[in-house]
Amino acid sequence: MTGRTTESQVDGREAAVLRLRDVHVRRLTTDQLILDGIDWTVRPGEHWALLGANGAGKTTLLRLLGALMHPTSGTVEVLGSRLGRVDVRELRARIGHVNAAQRVPQDLSAHAVVLTGHSGTVQPLWRTYDDEVRERARGLLTELGVKELADRPYGVCSGGQRARVLIARALMADPALLLLDEPFNALDLPSREDLVEAMHHLAEGRPRLATVTVTHHLEELSPAVGHALLLREGRTLAAGPVEEVLTGAHLTACFGRDITVARREGRWTAYSGRRVSGT
């Protein structure tokens, strides 16, 4: 914790990890409204799923949370700092952000990839990694259940293994906020289940860590995910505890399909039937 006084603390409210107020994002070239009046608060220790159909605005919202872009209007506070009033490079260093567009040299070992999370670089800065840092990187690979991959080139790791290596990399900065953009993309069933378990384990071991995961399938939610935000065409359709948000009615409205939802031992399944007329 730094000695900095954040805006959230100044006015006496509990410090939120994320606080969005009436956020709009408009693409200037096409005048398309991508996000339309988003209000959202994420608190320490909360795990959120961000769901919505293709093009609903999920990645754009995640880019705002990761301080990679600014809203057209409205306010975005990340880790107590308001976008537009803070050095975004310093802020980004305190956020773990995992996405498929990340550049990773394929010949680096998994351990070296995790080490680059310490320096916040694409290539390793070997001289900046002392024994403690190297050990921490190994500990994170162990925590994510992939310690046996330490010396394997990243390029030959499977999709599921890569996802876990990238999460370990993001955790090197000991972030208070972890953003995951479709980490389950193209994983087979065992890999998906391994990653769900790793996420569950991670949440249990780090009670203050907040996460936001963009996902397309309810089956990908770990039992630790207690909150969900449903986006439809840039607007919040529902947001809050999963029991209230992940209902058949909400998901049907969100995806325009007749969706039935079930939950068993903390895990979710969804079945989509025919298209709902008029959507």
Ligand X SMILES: Nc1ncnc2c1ncn2[C@@H]1O[C@H](COP(=O)(O)OP(=O)(O)OP(=O)(O)O)[C@@H](O)[C@H]1O
Q: Which is nearer to ligand X, 147 or 235 (CB)?
A: 235
Distance from C-alpha of 105 to C-alpha of 195, rounded to nearest angstrom:
22
Stretch that binds ligand X, among 13-21, 50-58, 70-78, 163-171 (CB under 6 A): 50-58
Asked if 52 is part of the footprint of ligand X (rule: CB under 6 A), the reply reads yes
Q: Which is nearer to ligand X, 34 or 254 (CB)?
A: 34
Nearest to 111 by CA among 40, 65, 161, 179: 161
Q: Which is nearer to ligand X, 17 or 34 (CB)?
A: 34
Strand 210-214, strand 47-52: pairing:
parallel
For the stretch 208-220, what's the b/e string if a residue is b when 16 or more beta carbons lie within 10 angstroms of its beta carbon? ebbbbbbbeebeb
Stretch that binds ligand X, among 53-61, 134-142, 160-168, 267-275 (CB under 6 A): 53-61
Per-residue contact string for residues 116-155; x = within reach of ligand X by CB under 6 A: ----------------------------------------
Q: 28 and 70 in contact (C-beta within 8 Å)? A: no
Question: Closest approach of Cβ 234 to ligand X, in Å?
Answer: 7
Residues with Cβ < 8 Å from 132, sequence gap 6 or more? Answer: none
DSSP state for residue 147 in the 8-state scheme: G
Asked if 57 is part of the footprint of ligand X (rule: CB under 6 A), the reply reads yes
Question: Closest approach of Cβ 57 to ligand X, in Å?
Answer: 4
Distance from C-alpha of 67 to C-alpha of 49, rounded to nearest angstrom:
19
Question: Closest approach of Cβ 59 to ligand X, in Å?
Answer: 3
DSSP string computed for 196-256:
HHHHHHHHHH-TT-EEEEE-S-GGG--TT--EEEEEETTEEEEEEEHHHHS-HHHHHHHHT
Asked if 56 is part of the footprint of ligand X (rule: CB under 6 A), the reply reads yes
Question: What would the two tokens of residue 97 be?
Answer: 């952000």
Question: What would the two tokens of residue 7 be?
Answer: 């805006």
Stretch that binds ligand X, among 48-56, 75-83, 129-137, 261-269 (CB under 6 A): 48-56
Asked if 223 is part of the footprint of ligand X (rule: CB under 6 A), the reply reads no
Q: Which is nearer to ligand X, 81 or 215 (CB)?
A: 215
Question: Closest approach of Cβ 51 to ligand X, in Å?
Answer: 9
Question: Closest approach of Cβ 259 to ligand X, in Å?
Answer: 16
Among 4, 9, 13, 27, binds ligand X (CB under 6 A): 27
Strand order of the β-sheet with 73-78 is 32-42, 18-27, 73-78, 81-82
Asked if 58 is part of the footprint of ligand X (rule: CB under 6 A), the reply reads yes
Among 59, 75, 109, 247, binds ligand X (CB under 6 A): 59
- Chain residues in the site for ligand X (CB under 6 A): 27, 34, 52, 54-60
